Structure 1
């Protein structure tokens, strides 16, 4: 199998052609991955079902999950990713007015061991693959729900020591047929590898170059940056002059200002002398002291340093500091996690109080109260029910939340994370739930990108033809499970569906949700009453959601919140995506933007006339489409997004 994120479009075409698939299928996959940021072949709905089933045997997405994330008050986000082999790397989201920058890693650790850098203190493990580099970008775009504007290779590692993977990643992300990020939106930050700089100058990749300089004195720079002992300032300058002659591009120089080390008048004069004749921009960075021997200079020292550079005509600026309230420095978060001796356990938040929360431990299934660290409140971080967390045990039998793991999914109504499936409970009698209500539930579930198990309750009241009619409408696209909580029919099979997962139960009033829960796990709600007294609930709490714990393993939310059937902010023309039988056939219509209302050559409407798509489903689609259109008109034609 091949790493899909390490393949360019032409390579992907070649692979599919070798498997006797049409080359344009590669273009469709490329579009899903790089324009829609989809990392699941099953969601690539314009591909044939058979191909979607075969792709996991040909291609894989590199394993990468966030084991910790931090959020700064200024909008900076720091991610610590765990790779398939257990290694960890860091990436940062930097928000600026009008644009977003990703700072990404090129290696696991770094061999250059710069004295002010936390990454070097952890040593070097290996180079990242092209796919692992690209994966950082896609995962962070998914996290921020939007595109990045600039990518800087200024995370862990020296990019020129992993040149092939870095350049291929840039070319993949640059490809106009996919992500289409211009070359000038990429920056390589190097500690000063002369041959790498020269190769960049000779390449066709016209990206930006940034050099970590930090001193223009050989002896001092060698003590700060051991790479200078191999590649002196003279050899570095020769490469920089060559680069500028070949490209004409301005070079950014990073200068970490350290009190009493490189911030004197003599240091700035030496820097001026070294850079004379090189078109430069000098980025002055008051040091983030990860090394206890280094101190940040005074504000006046920083001002004096910058003013002297500007006085002789150099462009310079003091970097606007971001992420000062989190572990934002390169390698800092990874180092802190390695160095912390506290045993961390993992669990799921199942309930909230005003000052603490209830967590179920992953291994033992035990429940305990946990507090939040003060830094969470300072940073405006608030866990929600369903969050997977790491916690440490305190001496009083309670715990302390240390980190919130990445949310795989998140519902807004009810506010709950990491849901793995929705249990849609219906009854066809007493009461008879109308198909239009069922369809709205299903659209909400499709919009949330969550699998649905349709549970028909009270089957002891139904005739076979009633169940058959329902299955003919929904059975091809949804998993239907028939039960009777009263007669305990098929209850064990439903337990198997729920076991080990976090689920949400949804459905209209009267369909038997509560009785079904009590049949699945008698006394389910009674068991949590004792520990509930330990939760210090705020007096003004009006509503909340909680996860109930099954004895057989698994958690479920039973809440009226999901019964709010108001459609989310879907663009009317996008509604078809949430009806799988319509979405699957949309590509056969005469026009690619067909919305299946009154367009000529509509293949979907032909299928409806032939009975291959049930008319009641189309009527629901039409009703919701008109509802969304009316909402759009009321908003003055403003589109959602």
Structure 2
């Protein structure tokens, strides 16, 4: 049996044809799933009993179970812990804004990138999520908050470009009219910098926003924070980003987590200016999320503002990310890890 959420409309039409059913039934089934939030074939009233039985023999609809919902007391941020049918736990964050609801989805269970400031990677990589499992995070979140999700960020647990094929299929389906119809320009994909995959993504000429987890202005400093820096240099990443800009005409976002007495100096800011000068880009400064297993401390607000001012005065468009859900461990991986530890599911506990 297969998760029907992994199928595109064309693939479900093909299945209908192979099973001696009218192809238009595929659209009817997806209308129930995506438009009417009906996730039980038996409740699809305009589908014949015979067709339902065929569907039930071939497919299931995987909507994860909600293990916990955490609501921030300081802002409109929700964090969901989901459990899939194989027992694995992932997390999804929903941030409610005046302009719409944004969701931060996970693309893998765990992560193998090893970034030292990230809790997602502490237990290593378990497995990739399928495109349908990523999509189901949005469907379930919409049901939970009773509102439509209008913006997607692939910035939860996992490295999206390390799960390239599933993520690309997810993007195609979630953007489709028969599915959630979320425009590409409302989708951001964040990567630590897998250079060949950035170039592949550029060749697709999609209109999503590419965000690079940079976090350092030079290779030596970046290697202390991100193992991926031992494979791909900043020069190689910048070359790939410029190719992405050339192909898509879209600006690239560079994420920069400011760590006290590490990468938050005036000298680092000037070096970052020199690196990005002339590039169609935007810098997102992030007060680092403190993780117990490392000694990274959040930069002071004075240093953050100084860093911001240096970039802005050099005509590098920059924002300071507003901290959302700080009271509910909303940073990627934190809540899942806390849950696993409390249930003695972390090695060594």
TM > 0.5 fold call: yes
- Which residue of 321, 325, 328 corresponds with 2:327? 325
**Are residue 52 (structure 1) and residue 52 (structure 2) matched?**
yes
How does 1:234-273 map onto structure 2 within 5 Å?
234-273=235-274
Q: In structure 1, how many angstroms separate the alpha carbons of the residues matched to 2:299 and 2:161? A: 31
Partner of 1:135: 136
1:285 deviation in Å? Answer: 0.7
1:269 deviation in Å? Answer: 0.7
Partner of 2:341: 339
Q: In structure 2, how many angstroms separate the alpha carbons of the residues matched to 1:23 and 1:338? A: 44
1:167 deviation in Å? Answer: 0.7
Q: Deviations over 1:471-496 (max 9, x none)?
A: xxxxxxxxxxxxxxxxxxxxxxxxxx
**Are residue 62 (structure 1) and residue 54 (structure 2) matched?**
no
Q: In structure 1, how many angstroms separate the alpha carbons of the residues matched to 2:259 and 2:38? A: 44
Q: Which runs of 5+ in 2 are unaligned?
A: none
Between the two proteins, the alignment pairs up a number of residues equal to 343
Contact 1:64 1:81 in 2 (8 A): yes
Q: In structure 2, how many angstroms separate the alpha carbons of the residues matched to 1:232 and 1:81? A: 36
Partner of 1:293: 295
Contact 1:41 1:52 in 2 (8 A): yes
- TM norm structure 1: 0.52
Q: Deviations over 1:138-164 (max 9, x none)?
A: 111111122111111100111111111
**Are residue 77 (structure 1) and residue 78 (structure 2) matched?**
yes
Partner of 1:311: 313
Q: Which runs of 5+ in 1 are unaligned?
A: 344-641
1:49 deviation in Å? Answer: 3.0
User: Which has the larger displacement, 177-186 or 128-137?
Assistant: 177-186
Q: In structure 2, how many angstroms separate the alpha carbons of the residues matched to 1:58 and 1:205? A: 32
Q: In structure 1, how many angstroms separate the alpha carbons of the residues matched to 2:36 and 2:104? A: 21
SS of alignment partner, residue 288 of structure 1: coil
Contact 1:37 1:141 in 2 (8 A): no
User: Which has the larger displacement, 189-198 or 28-37?
Assistant: 28-37
Structure 1 residues 2 and 326, CA gap change in structure 2 (3 angstroms): same
Q: Deviations over 1:389-433 (max 9, x none)?
A: xxxxxxxxxxxxxxxxxxxxxxxxxxxxxxxxxxxxxxxxxxxxx
Q: In structure 2, how many angstroms separate the alpha carbons of the residues matched to 1:41 and 1:204? A: 36
Partner of 1:226: 227
SS of alignment partner, residue 134 of structure 2: helix
SS of alignment partner, residue 201 of structure 1: helix
Q: In structure 2, how many angstroms separate the alpha carbons of the residues matched to 1:91 and 1:72? A: 14
SS of alignment partner, residue 92 of structure 2: strand
Q: In structure 2, how many angstroms separate the alpha carbons of the residues matched to 1:162 and 1:31? A: 28
- TM norm structure 2: 0.95
Greater RCO, CA 8 A, separation 6+: 2
Q: In structure 2, how many angstroms separate the alpha carbons of the residues matched to 1:193 and 1:166? A: 14
Partner of 2:98: 97
SS of alignment partner, residue 327 of structure 2: coil
1:84 deviation in Å? Answer: 2.1
**Are residue 186 (structure 1) and residue 187 (structure 2) matched?**
yes
**Are residue 15 (structure 1) and residue 19 (structure 2) matched?**
no
SS of alignment partner, residue 46 of structure 1: coil
Structure 1 residues 94 and 63, CA gap change in structure 2 (3 angstroms): closer
SS of alignment partner, residue 332 of structure 2: coil
